[in-house]
A and B are shown apart, each in its own frame.
Chain A
């Protein structure tokens, strides 16, 4: 007899985690390209937009799915987390709205107003990234308040934004050609430093913020089993760092490698966090099972999710293939 009451909340925690991870990787490069507008020349901006044009709508929908799953599967946690993060959540939404509409407006307004919407695109992407980083920081600390928590949140905000920008640069290396591609390599090189700093900060802060997490990590032999997470991340970072001195390569070999590397690093970091927090959905307050909806309701949602999610993932591969290769002009006809 399968114990659905134990299994379903666990499955939903997994699904939600997957949705968050996919969101961070996919919308990470969209937001990153927005942030890179700060240093991009005006003639680079159209190709940069073209590199994310067909994807961003679907990418942002992963956030709706992640927050939606939190809402429907763990309603109590949704309430606790979002009332605690009321203002940063608002700032995030403001940024996402600005970024999303600027994307469309900039291409459709009279030519003279385009710059205004380019700026809105940059500002929106930047605030949304900062807000996500800040929320992550506060969440890692178990929704603490106070000056120290704020400072840590601000640090994570800056580092996550830099990491997103690095993702954006890595995506551009794949999608862009010529001068822009070379610039993207330079951008990536500089941004990697901040990304390393950010991941190190979160990795060190989490165990020290919570004795429970400290004990999960620094116990023999668990430490041994967990050691591949930081070690592999380190190796990938070093590899990527060295790679940036050789890109772009003749015949555009390895153009997708930086992006895949960063995605892998994000994934490793994500598993580290997931291990730290399990079984809590609100750190040290609510476990997955305490916060879950009624089992029968979860069952209904699960049936739909099990059908739809593989199709979405399959379709996403198709869409990325249709729009694969170097970005052409973004045109409707």
Chain B
């Protein structure tokens, strides 16, 4: 059997990074959510907040571990499959990756031990500080990684000498044109993912008859956060789209499946784009829709794929992943606003809505992955736009090896994902059974006095 190392390596990278991103997406915002719980506890002295903290810090620990182990894979992968990447742009990617590792290391992994297991061993203040530092660490890591990713999308601040990129302006490299938009979009995505995760699993407990104060507090906080963040995300997404239109018009053309540049371009709601025939089948459209959204005027000119023949990303996956992301976002808006209404006005959740909210626990993952597929596939055939083609970065690894490792990775990921979700459900059901009856945690503002050897 013929095995093509390029496509296999691409699938492998996609599999590894898709698996990896699931977990940081949760830890970035969950850290801040935990800090919020911790702050409410310190401010009110109400131990229900602390119970909510302990419930969710377990999820944080598990998710963080998944993120660490899948992240180790990432740091090896550049060398094993894509050595051409660092050879060509290593002078720019290197420092950004180094800072990512240093901050991740510096704040996250190092303070995690105290955040997870140190509540009885350090003062409340130090424990809150550890939580804050871990949350800052995850967020800062995201900043560096998104700076690098954005630079690959819209490179700036460098010059090519003998086929190798050299930095000329680090400010321009970090704050490249798409970076602020991508950063905001991703941080909001993380917030929404966590909000729906907490809301979904709390609703599972709710459906089991659990009405404990700590669960209701977490549920209300999560639903409120979701209801506030989703309109902000829609605005941020729109702005990000306009930024892409300016800097990567071929990506927009493929996302909208618009084959001809022109005015009065309709918004395609449903279609099966066909790249061979360069047309859409089974189209359902809204007249002038795309022109209105992208140019804010019905006769605005929208770029079409005819301007980029042979040099644009594949249309079908881009078109659909974008629609999955937007569709999930719409559903999030409806569900979070309905839930917020019922929780704040009626103080209860209707059963059909609750039943919908449980699977929506994973809606953030769906939207985040769909969004990343849109932007990453949308960069093809380039690895670094205009600088390095994906095919040219591939290392000399035999296709058979890549196929073998890819198959094992995929099996491992499926097993781990099933186990992860299984554990989340198990923890929720267990918490639902126990309610708020477990013994109270340590005392406010002072570490619990417990004998420690050597003292």
Interfacial residues, chain A to chain B (CB-CB below 8 A): 53-55, 57-58, 60-61, 63-65, 67-73, 75-76, 78-83, 86-87, 89-90, 93-94, 96-101, 103-105, 108-110, 293-294, 296-297, 300-301, 304-305, 308, 311-312, 315-316, 319, 322-326, 328, 330-333
Interface of A is mostly: helix
What's the least CB distance linking A290 to chain B, in Å?
A: 13
Complex: A326 Cα to B450 Cα, angstroms: 13
- CB neighbours of A58 from chain B (8 A): 105, 109-110, 112-113
Task: Report whether A101 and B69 are in contact in the complex, using a CB–CB cutoff of 8 Å.
Answer: yes
Complex: A64 Cα to B75 Cα, angstroms: 7
Contact of A332 among B54, B71, B95, B167 (CB under 8 A): B54
Task: Report whether B110 and A108 are in contact in the complex, using a CB–CB cutoff of 8 Å.
Answer: no
Q: Which of B83-91, B264-272, B368-376 lies at the interface with chain A? A: B83-91
Contact of A68 among B62, B80, B92, B98 (CB under 8 A): B98
Task: Report whether A75 and B419 are in contact in the complex, using a CB–CB cutoff of 8 Å.
Answer: no
What's the least CB distance linking B116 to chain A, in Å?
A: 6
0/1 interface trace, chain B 364-386, chain A, CB 8 Å (1 if under): 00000000000000000000000
- CB neighbours of B172 from chain A (8 A): none
Complex: A79 Cα to B64 Cα, angstroms: 28
What's the least CB distance linking A76 to chain B, in Å?
A: 7
Q: Which 8 A-B pairs have the closest CB atoms?
A: A79-B83, A82-B79, A72-B94, A75-B86, A54-B113, A325-B453, A100-B69, A75-B90
Complex: A271 Cα to B58 Cα, angstroms: 40
Task: Report whether A71 and B86 are in contact in the complex, using a CB–CB cutoff of 8 Å.
Answer: yes
Closest B-chain residue to A297, C-beta based? B91
- CB neighbours of A61 from chain B (8 A): 68, 104-105, 109-110
Q: Which of under 10, 10 to 19, 20 to 34, or 35 or more describes the interface residues of B?
A: 35 or more
Extra inter-chain contacts (6) besides given A109-B422, A305-B102, CB under 8 Å: A57-B109, A57-B113, A64-B68, A297-B167, A324-B452, A325-B455
What's the least CB distance linking B449 to chain A, in Å?
A: 13
What's the least CB distance linking B400 to chain A, in Å?
A: 11
Complex: A52 Cα to B441 Cα, angstroms: 23
Task: Report whether A332 and B116 are in contact in the complex, using a CB–CB cutoff of 8 Å.
Answer: yes
Task: Report whether B453 and A331 are in contact in the complex, using a CB–CB cutoff of 8 Å.
Answer: no
Task: Report whether B121 and A322 are in contact in the complex, using a CB–CB cutoff of 8 Å.
Answer: yes
Task: Report whether B94 and A323 are in contact in the complex, using a CB–CB cutoff of 8 Å.
Answer: no
Does any Cβ of A come within 8 Å of B444's Cβ? no
Does any Cβ of A come within 8 Å of B395's Cβ? yes
- CB neighbours of B102 from chain A (8 A): 65, 304-305, 308
What's the least CB distance linking A51 to chain B, in Å?
A: 12
Does any Cβ of A come within 8 Å of B261's Cβ? no
- CB neighbours of B166 from chain A (8 A): 294, 296
Task: Report whether B441 and A69 are in contact in the complex, using a CB–CB cutoff of 8 Å.
Answer: no
Interfacial residues, chain B to chain A (CB-CB below 8 A): 50, 54, 57-58, 61-62, 64-66, 68-73, 75-76, 78-80, 83, 86-87, 90-95, 97-99, 101-106, 109-114, 116-122, 164, 166-167, 170, 395-397, 401, 405, 408, 412, 416, 419-420, 422-423, 426-427, 441-442, 450, 452-455
Task: Report whether A83 and B419 are in contact in the complex, using a CB–CB cutoff of 8 Å.
Answer: no
Given contacts A68-B98, A71-B79, A316-B110, contact A333 B65 (CB under 8 A): no
Task: Report whether B54 and A104 are in contact in the complex, using a CB–CB cutoff of 8 Å.
Answer: no
Closest B-chain residue to A85, C-beta based? B80
What's the least CB distance linking B451 to chain A, in Å?
A: 9
- CB neighbours of B405 from chain A (8 A): 86-87, 90
Task: Report whether A86 and B73 are in contact in the complex, using a CB–CB cutoff of 8 Å.
Answer: no
Complex: A76 Cα to B86 Cα, angstroms: 8
Contact of B71 among A64, A322, A326 (CB under 8 A): A64
- CB neighbours of A98 from chain B (8 A): 412
Complex: A81 Cα to B75 Cα, angstroms: 13
Task: Report whether B90 and A293 are in contact in the complex, using a CB–CB cutoff of 8 Å.
Answer: yes
Complex: A245 Cα to B113 Cα, angstroms: 34
- CB neighbours of B453 from chain A (8 A): 325-326
What's the least CB distance linking A326 to chain B, in Å?
A: 4
- CB neighbours of A300 from chain B (8 A): 95, 167, 170
What's the least CB distance linking B39 to chain A, in Å?
A: 17
Task: Report whether B114 and A97 are in contact in the complex, using a CB–CB cutoff of 8 Å.
Answer: no
Closest B-chain residue to A71, C-beta based? B78
Task: Report whether B117 and A332 are in contact in the complex, using a CB–CB cutoff of 8 Å.
Answer: yes
- CB neighbours of A105 from chain B (8 A): 62, 419, 423
What's the least CB distance linking B254 to chain A, in Å?
A: 32
List 18 A-B residue pairs with CB atoms under 8 Å apart, sorted by A's residue number: A55-B113, A65-B105, A67-B76, A76-B83, A79-B79, A82-B83, A86-B405, A87-B401, A93-B76, A101-B69, A101-B419, A109-B419, A109-B422, A296-B167, A308-B103, A319-B113, A332-B57, A332-B117
- CB neighbours of A103 from chain B (8 A): 65
Given contacts A64-B101, A83-B397, A96-B72, contact A71 B427 (CB under 8 A): no
Contact of A333 among B69, B73, B79, B119 (CB under 8 A): B119
Task: Report whether B416 and A73 are in contact in the complex, using a CB–CB cutoff of 8 Å.
Answer: no
Closest A-chain residue to B89, C-beta based? A75
